[in-house]
Amino acid sequence: MPRDEYGIIILAAGNSSRLGEPKQLLQFQGKSLIRHIVEAAVEIVGRNTMVVTGSNSGLIEHALDGLPCQFAFNADWQEGMSASVKTGIHALQSYNPQIIGSILAVSDQPFVTSETFRALIQVFEKSGKGIAASQYSDALGTPALFSTSYFPAILQLTGAEGAKKLFKRFPDDVSAYAFPEGRIDIDTQEDYKRLISGV
């Protein structure tokens, strides 16, 4: 059964300038990266999956045909990560005002699965803290779960700032989930070649 009290926001608005093609549509294990992560999210929170699009929005929506997710278009995607995070938070709260927290995830971490999301929720619930973040490469990152009490702070972010800024601002209210595979993300063609060759 989906966890109706949580949402998952997938940030997929960027134009992948370093890669030279939409990274969200790269194929991995028989499906696009965006479909991988959205299917994982839908398995955990069902229709409370919010996909934030911007550049290439039509292509991304087409790649997710048939999935019971929601879409939020970020017209200001060129302003950086913060605009997409805010678009997703606003859209999710409008869609389901009852949620108690949301995971923020990006579309280029190929090893995020439904188990990753489920484990983050478990860490969040057991710790009693307001933030549960993935830990890899000696740092905290996405996916990360924020209680709704942090939404006002997230909505204050500007420019290229992501929600990672809150890990530093509220270190005593962050619990960590060990996710070493989280260090793998796709920014360049070399990253992608390494991924598909298994190196």
- CATH class in words for 6-197: alpha beta
114-127 vs 33-45: helix axis angle to the nearest 10?
40
Cβ-contact 116, 143 below 8 angstroms:
yes
* Of 89, 87, 40, nearest in space to 67 by CA: 40
Given phi > 0 = left and psi -120 to 50 = alpha, else beta, which region is 126?
Answer: alpha
pLDDT in tens, 133-145: 999 988 899 999 9
pLDDT (average), residues 165-180: 93
| pLDDT score of 30 more than 80 | yes
pLDDT at 22 over 80: no
pLDDT tens-place string over residues 73-129: 999 988 888 999 999 999 999 999 999 999 999 998 999 999 999 999 999 999 999
Domain boundaries, the chain: 6-197
Separation between Cα atoms, residue 180 and residue 88, nearest integer Å: 26
DSSP 110: T
Predicted pLDDT of residue 188: 81
Averaged pLDDT score across all residues of the chain: 91
Instruction: Give the mean pLDDT of 3-32.
Output: 84
Stretch 181-196: mean pLDDT: 85
Task: Summarize pLDDT for 47-79 with one digit per residue, the tens.
Answer: 999 999 998 899 999 999 999 999 999 999 888
- The whole-number pLDDT of residue 16 equals 65
